[in-house]
Structure 1
Amino acid sequence: MYWGDSQLLRVFGAVQNSDHAQTWFVELIRKAKLLRIGIPDLLDMMGSEAGKQQLNERIALIASSESTLNATVYRSGTGTDDPGEKIDDYQINWSGIPAFMDAIDQRMAAVSGIPFTKIMGRSPGGMNATGDHDTDNWWDTVGDGQENETRPCLEQLDPILIRSAGAKNPDKVWWLWAPLRKPTEKEEAETFDLLMDAITKLIDTGMLPEEAMSRACRT
């Protein structure tokens, strides 16, 4: 819940807005391929069946020439008294559209709590940007949800599930979440160095018998 509202509904609305924006953009691309044909005396031609037939044949000829010749054939006219036909491509100003769509997707990412780079599958923007900070925040969010929301629910079912699985000592059964991320080689090396340093200090104190320490190291 987010301020009394269902988070699922908030995310659903943001996803719908993003989907509508994508649909609108696709329709805009399709519309950019349209031709705008200006035909003199069009209304007069539509006033008779012969004129309608002539108009249909003319439009069919334009479509056929574009398909066959990869060119648009039209009557250019002879002067002011005979302007001829006018064919224009549909003009669209594409500037600002990518930023507009990114803003909608970023809103969706903000509402869902998922980093923009992860939910959209894009590389981080900006100089020297790695996206590690966003990823770490995402793992923290997922981890908090696992421990504070999902675990309490599962713990209500654990007594039933554990006994149905035939466990002899249900009270001694415990579980952990699978790691959300795999540590890098550098992180594994640093962890190993810290562990070895701690073991060395523990041995130097002489608080543990050598036999117990050697057995622990072997296991």
Structure 2
Amino acid sequence: MTESKPRIKIKAVMVPTTDSLSNLVANIGTNRDKRSHNYFGYEFVNQMELEAAYQSNWIARRIVDTPNEDALREWRTFNGKQSKLIETEERRLGVQQHYLDTCCWADLYGGAALLMVTGQDLSKPLDLDKVKKGGLKNLVVLDRWDIQPKDFNMTDPLQPNWMLPDNYMMVNGTQPIHYSHIIRRTGARLPRRLRMFEQGWGDSRLRRCMADLRDVVATKGGIASLVLEANVDTISVKGLQGALAGAQSDQITERYRMFGMLKSIVNLGLLDHDNEEYDRKSVAFSGLSQIMEQFMVWTAGAAEMPVTKLWGQSAAGLSATGEGDQNVYYDTIKAKQDGQMRRDLERLDQVLIRSALGNYPDDLEFEWNPLFQASGVEQAQEGLADAQADGIYLETGVIRPSHAMRRAQGKGTYAITDEQIAAQEKLEKDQDNAEFDKDDGADLPGFSLGGPDGDKQDADGKAQEETKGT
């Protein structure tokens, strides 16, 4: 019989940490140092407060909407001759607006989903081979509070939904939805343990800004209240305290109420010269604008947006144009496009393109349209440069007219149709064939046409060469 070993319980104790610098005399790095008791804690904001901030505060709405609207404003372009059919299908289903709503609700709540309605059984995996032309019936936008994740895959890391749900279910519903019918959009990135606490969803981008948003709104409200109290009228009366304690307190109150009313109507005040003194106290507002500006900068940093973009103000400083801030912001938007947005749309395109074309071509890809829109002068200069380059390439034979027409069609400057390009390509092919037939019978070095005339010409030429040599 073996003796059981006693169990040792380990209790986790939170110990405040400081940097390596310590000074017992100055209390730096010791328990008496006030900084040693600072620590970060979890901040949770409920759904109702997020919705209230989004509905009532324009800054909160801009934090959520503006980055997604900028990322999807110019949308995307497919390559190939069938791009028009895909664009038509996108307009029929409202893909751009539905995906924009999905991204906005994901940033507001931390997660959202786009349900693809194809007529197939939602409880079973989506079969892409069964999606025919017109097979995508509708797109339904759902936020994280509309659907409930079920049956998380925690055992098979080879599946595409590793650490994600196998199925979803509508709140208060009974229909299970397989994850393959869902385009899942998450909010800000979270560590794995917090992500599982949030049922696999991400963090709300607005929640990260809530503390700074409360501060900036409270500061603005405090400044507005100070404006109302910018000037305070004061009247000094000898023996006022005793008079208010007596029976004539109502008459005294009515007297100064009438004084304030008379001053407001005719801007005139009447006082007793010997017993009453009038004075006005003014509130100083110096420094308040700098405090407000610092709160604006801090909030913009939390929202990952330039101050000029979040607050809608022009760039400050001598010769400042804000172009640098705009470029940094567009780089952030571009990274967002090439990240989760591209993955989401590529999953959607597996169904969308089959619904538009009836199949899925292997060489079909899309590119995001440029975020920056050039001015009229800049567009004219760019068009002139392109035309000059095309002219040089046409003259040197690098490209053909059909190539230049295809490029002009892609830019959308002229209404060039595919039929016109096809006709030009046919004309060029016919010209190539005619030139080939013409060159097929031409004299080449070391080659002579057969027949008596050809032999006679060769003999005459040889005789002339011999005569010239002698």
Interval of TM-score (by shorter of Structure 1 and Structure 2): 0.7 to 0.9
1:69-218 equivalence runs, <5 A = 69-77=266-274, 84-163=275-354, 165-171=355-361, 174-185=365-376, 187-189=378-380, 191-192=382-383, 195=386, 199=390, 213-218=400-405
Contact 2:212 2:299 in 1 (8 A): yes
1:88 match: secondary structure? strand
- CA–CA distance in 2 between the matches of 1:55 and 1:169? 90
- CA–CA distance in 2 between the matches of 1:156 and 1:192? 36
Report the alpha carbon displacement of residue 101 of structure 1 after superposing the two structures with TM. 0.9
Give the alignment partner of residue 219 of structure 2, picking from 21, 33, 39: 21
User: What's the TM-score, normalizing by structure 2?
Assistant: 0.39
CA deviation map 1:178-198 (0-9, x unaligned): 432212345435544664565
149-158 or 103-112, which deviates more: 149-158
Report the alpha carbon displacement of residue 27 of structure 1 after superposing the two structures with TM. 0.2
More helix by share: 1
- CA–CA distance in 2 between the matches of 1:154 and 1:39? 76
Report the alpha carbon displacement of residue 218 of structure 1 after superposing the two structures with TM. 2.9
- CA–CA distance in 2 between the matches of 1:3 and 1:196? 50
- CA–CA distance in 1 between the matches of 2:402 and 2:233? 83
The higher radius of gyration belongs to 2
Paired AA for residue 24 in structure 1: G
- CA–CA distance in 2 between the matches of 1:30 and 1:57? 23
User: What's the TM-score, normalizing by structure 1?
Assistant: 0.77
Paired AA for residue 143 in structure 1: K
2:370 match: secondary structure? coil
Q: Gaps (5+ residues) in structure 2?
A: 1-187, 192-202, 407-470
RMSD: 2.9
Aligned pair in 2 of structure 1 residues 47, 181: CA closer, same or farther (>3 Å)?
same
Report the alpha carbon displacement of residue 106 of structure 1 after superposing the two structures with TM. 1.3
Paired AA for residue 108 in structure 1: T
- CA–CA distance in 1 between the matches of 2:189 and 2:281? 44
- CA–CA distance in 1 between the matches of 2:254 and 2:309? 53
Report the alpha carbon displacement of residue 35 of structure 1 after superposing the two structures with TM. 2.1
32-41 or 188-197, which deviates more: 188-197
Tell me whether 1:8 sits opposite 2:195 in the alignment.
Answer: no
Report the alpha carbon displacement of residue 96 of structure 1 after superposing the two structures with TM. 1.2
23-32 or 114-123, which deviates more: 114-123
Aligned pair in 2 of structure 1 residues 118, 133: CA closer, same or farther (>3 Å)?
same
Report the alpha carbon displacement of residue 128 of structure 1 after superposing the two structures with TM. 1.1
Aligned pair in 2 of structure 1 residues 37, 161: CA closer, same or farther (>3 Å)?
farther
Contact 2:233 2:280 in 1 (8 A): yes
98-107 or 35-44, which deviates more: 35-44
Contact 1:32 1:89 in 2 (8 A): no
- CA–CA distance in 2 between the matches of 1:39 and 1:153? 75
CA deviation map 1:79-102 (0-9, x unaligned): xxxxx2333323211211111111
Report the alpha carbon displacement of residue 201 of structure 1 after superposing the two structures with TM. 6.6
197-206 or 14-23, which deviates more: 197-206
Aligned pair in 2 of structure 1 residues 88, 150: CA closer, same or farther (>3 Å)?
farther
Paired AA for residue 120 in structure 1: W
2:279 match: secondary structure? strand
Paired AA for residue 251 in structure 2: Q
Q: Gaps (5+ residues) in structure 1?
A: 78-83
117-126 or 98-107, which deviates more: 117-126
Q: How many residues align?
A: 207
| Map of 1:35 onto structure 2 | 233
